[in-house]
Amino acid sequence: MGEASLGKGKRYAQGMAAPCNLHPFLSYRVRMSSSMTKAATSDTLASRLLLERSAAWLLAAPLVATLLIIGLYPGLYTLAAAFSKSTLGKPFQSFVGLSNYSFAMRGDFADALWRTVVFAIPSSLLQMLLGVAIALLLVRVSRFGSIWRALIFLPMMTPPVMIGIAWKLMLLPSGGLLNGALMHFGLISAPRSFLGEMPWALISIALADTWQWTPFVVLLAYAALRALPDDIRQAAYMDGAGKFRTFFQVQLPILMPALLGIFLIKLIISFKVFDLIFVLTTGGPGTGTTLASYAIFRTLLQNYDVGLAAAQVLLLVLLVTVLTLPLLRLHKRLSEVTEA
């Protein structure tokens, strides 16, 4: 008996825990205390999470409210005005149904929509070609690269009105830089009014728009090219592919989703061109350069017809949506293929 007690004491002294036989009531209290501690911890975490979510909503509420005021209210106002007889001084005089839409499509606005499509798609494609080509050059230029980038991005930082004035001075029949150069080299015998003749007036606006927005395409395409993994290009070179083959067969398929996204953005911007038309031609000669945005401006601020202008805005939005939806679907498919 003494030896057994001595052995048990040695084992306890060596660090073995002595058996603990608690009373059933005490065991119940211990279990209840543990459960209450866990429940309190869970309640604390839930309260903290709820507080963080509430704080996030409170912080985001001013921004959400501002966006709703800026975006939702004008949208609803435009939608309501498009179905009513409204002027600048007397909005919502009477409900007119679809008469504003039918009048817009019977008038000159239908031609303005078509001219906008003819202007926007070719000019956007031209800017994409030039922008990607310049971005490829910038990626390969290592000497004075920052200086070249600053010079190329300069037009994008110039106000559109200043760009319009510069191009108008350059295209003047008398004393204009372009007419002087063409006459000096014997390409024309007399000065030409490029801004007073069709189709040269619309081509001049497209060229000025290209000069203004190509740096934007260069910026995004340059970022997309820099994001490409360099090991893909190196692997293509090791397989014997040249620079052109590497770009068109290896890099371009990977870049297609990004380039299509850039084209979508630029296409939408081209549908909204206004400043250059206002400064260069004021919609002339005749209505030859009156695109949709300038036609809406005339309807609203020259004829004071808010209802008709609202209907024209919604028709322009519908046209842009119809043209961009297939491109958005194509962009989604290309992104899925690239990620796979």
The number of residues in the chain equals 340
Nearest to 194 by CA among 214, 163, 169: 169
Picking from 36, 59, 82, the residue at the C-terminal end of a domain is 82
Q: Is residue 14 part of a domain?
A: no
Domain region containing 305: 94-339
**CB of 217 within 8 A of CB of 131?**
yes
Domain co-membership, 42 together with 119: no
Domain co-membership, 112 together with 134: yes
> Which has the higher per-residue pLDDT, 293 or 153?
293
Domain co-membership, 274 together with 202: yes
**CB of 306 within 8 A of CB of 88?**
yes
Picking from 82, 105, 134, the residue at the C-terminal end of a domain is 82
Q: Give the single-character DSSP code of 285.
A: S
Q: How many domains does the chain have?
A: 2
Dist. CA 267–CA 123, nearest whole Å? 9
**CB of 286 within 8 A of CB of 275?**
no
Q: What are the pLDDT digits (tens) for 193-245?
A: 999 999 999 999 999 999 999 999 999 999 998 888 877 777 777 777 777 77
The torsion of the CA quartet 122, 164, 215, 260, rounded to 10 degrees, works out to: -30
Picking from 82, 109, 134, the residue at the C-terminal end of a domain is 82
Omega of the bond leading into 62 within 30 degrees of 0 (cis): no
Instruction: Provide the CATH number for the domain around residue 199.
Output: 1.10.3720.10
**Residue 136: both structure tokens together:** 């490829």
Omega of the bond leading into 215 within 30 degrees of 0 (cis): no
* 259 C-beta neighbours (distance < 10 Å), count: 19
Q: What are the pLDDT digits (tens) for 260-294?
A: 999 999 999 999 999 999 999 999 899 999 999 99
Dist. CA 73–CA 103, nearest whole Å? 25
Dist. CA 319–CA 332, nearest whole Å? 21
Single-letter amino acid, residue 159 = P
What pLDDT shows up at residue 6? Answer: 44
Q: Is residue 88 part of a domain?
A: no
pLDDT range class, residue 176, cuts 50, 70, 90: confident
